[in-house]
Structure 1
Amino acid sequence: MQNDEVVVLVANAKGRARVDKFVSYTIDADLYSPEGSFSFECDSKYDMNRGNLCQIFVNRKCVMAGIIDTVRRSLSRSGPKMEIEGRSVASVLADSSVTKFGTLPRTLPQLAERLVKDLPFLSRKDFVFNSGSDKDKIKRKFVELSPGDSVFDVLKKAANSLGFLFWASPDGSLVFDKPVERGKADFRIHAFENGEEMDYIEGSVTETLNGQHSLIKVIGESQDDSDIKYVAASVKNDDFPFYRPLVVNWNENEGPAKKTAELQLATEKASAIQLEYTMSGHSQNGIPWTINAFCDVEDHYNGAVDSYLIKRRTFTLSRSEGKRTRLELQPGGSL
């Protein structure tokens, strides 16, 4: 196993501090949460303070851009200790409420620019608009605000209404893109049926029927010239073993009924099977494990042979276990 290099660069008042010696750490990123988090424990004192920006690198590749929230220094007879905690830069969106009400722009680029105008660390250039996400017009009901709404919630709601995923990439970019059901795999996990050869420390596959349905039917009302018409769309889940229907309320402001049904089905299928693996080190062939990437799984013992999306990744270091990576995977296509 290669010795993956972990380095933290902190922007401070004197320029930059470099941290590359740790007692322990945890670096956590989740595709469906804006608040990636990190914590470090060191036995040396470094020049850093709460509010400092930092970048975390594994094998010279940025795996998180963050803000230091907490710095704790202590001294005992066993020596000095410094503990650092923080979250990704995207946490600014989750922590900040929208303060300016009124009519908001109805395209994602204009909406993002308006909402982050007064926020620190972020600007329009930090947003990436893929798959035509900068073109579609948002229905007005999806940019209506309530007191207490966070900037992240408003952007996520607007993006999801158009069928786009809104997520924070490891380098700090804020990305609008279509959820991908299938893609070229960047990683591979395998274990043979007899368990004699496997490249993970521990692995599990959980399959469930909870929250799943065989048929999803979307029903609502459309008002046109005082003439009420019932409209419906339906999709089937051919993988479900018996008949269990779901009826979802819908109105025409939510977009095409068929899309609503298909997104519901994709979400259910993604939660039907969950994979968890613990790997040695932080990379495969020198490439750090990352979220929103596909991994070919050939785990005959646990009954999973397919390509799955990495939805959560946690790097850890401890004296007892060394460097490890915990992965959570699921089928692609979910918002």
Structure 2
Amino acid sequence: ENLEVLNLKAIAGEFTVQGRHIDLSKLPVFKENSDKGNYRIQFWRQPESGIANLYINQSWEGDGGAVDTETAKFLNNRDFRAALSMGIERDEINEVFFLGLGETGGLCAGWDDPNDPGHYIGEHLVEFNPDEANAMLDAIGLDKKDADGMRLMPETGEKIVVVHSVAVAAFEDYEGIDSMVIEMWKKHLGIDGKLDAQERSLWSSRRDENETMLNSWESSGRAGAIITPNHLGIVGGGGFIAPKWADEHMDGTIAPGWIGEWQNLYDEAVSDAAAYAPNLQKVVELNCVNANPITTVMNKPTYTAIIKKNVRNVPNPLPFSYHAQTSGNGFPETWWLEGGNQ
């Protein structure tokens, strides 16, 4: 069903319970019509989850030519990704797209950094700091610019362009969010960008074929990083960060660098129960310190649930869980309608 039609039906009170694909940006309209539509509103949140992450594809190869090959080198440069992260005004994204209901911290919030007392792991990388970001870009060789102020790569002399691949009509307005990020990077960092918006199934197939440079999508809560590794991990085929290397991992091949470390920790965790808990935190820490994915907004309501006022026994709050298939973890078989359908 068309998502706009779905939301209009929900506003009119035509659903008994509906959370999936309810548009949070329409919250004021839902509130205004709640009495007329005879429904209440609940927020179902997923703890420590990213809503609009920017996944840099480190196994991207492009067309194999000189420009794409040099671009791929920068995608694999941790300082390049860190600079991109520090060039994002997350508060603005939160206000414009999520009515300020999300948070702008990182995936590792709450995990103290032993090397930086008073801060959590990766905290500085999710802070808006264009001065430091620009200094990092200069230091890695992107210190030359064209007449428009966009950065040029040192070997080919061509402009570096980050292409954002997004799915349309998905859970969030990824087109709008990534368009805003592109403009932020142009303005604050001199990094040019393009938006590549695709129908979801086409986007997914291109991502799985390693054709996309940057993918914008959510992530399950960090507690599920190992049991749902297709978001934060690079294992078992598919994924977002390096699909080609994830496919190769299925044959036992370990990728280079921090991604290989992630894979080794995963392999150990799924074969040794005693290693599961400590390795779970270790793999997420690798995501944080290596700025991949780059998180924008965290912990906003995953579902804005529209519930008829006569529906009883719905837990509130009801934590959203991908693994428990919310609303499944709210045991809907125990819900009941007071006075029947209304």
Higher helix share: 2
- TM above 0.5, yes or no, is no
TM-score normalised by length of structure 1:
0.27
Q: Larger radius of gyration, structure 1 or 2? A: 1
Higher strand share: 1
Higher RCO (CA < 8 A, seq sep 6+) = 2
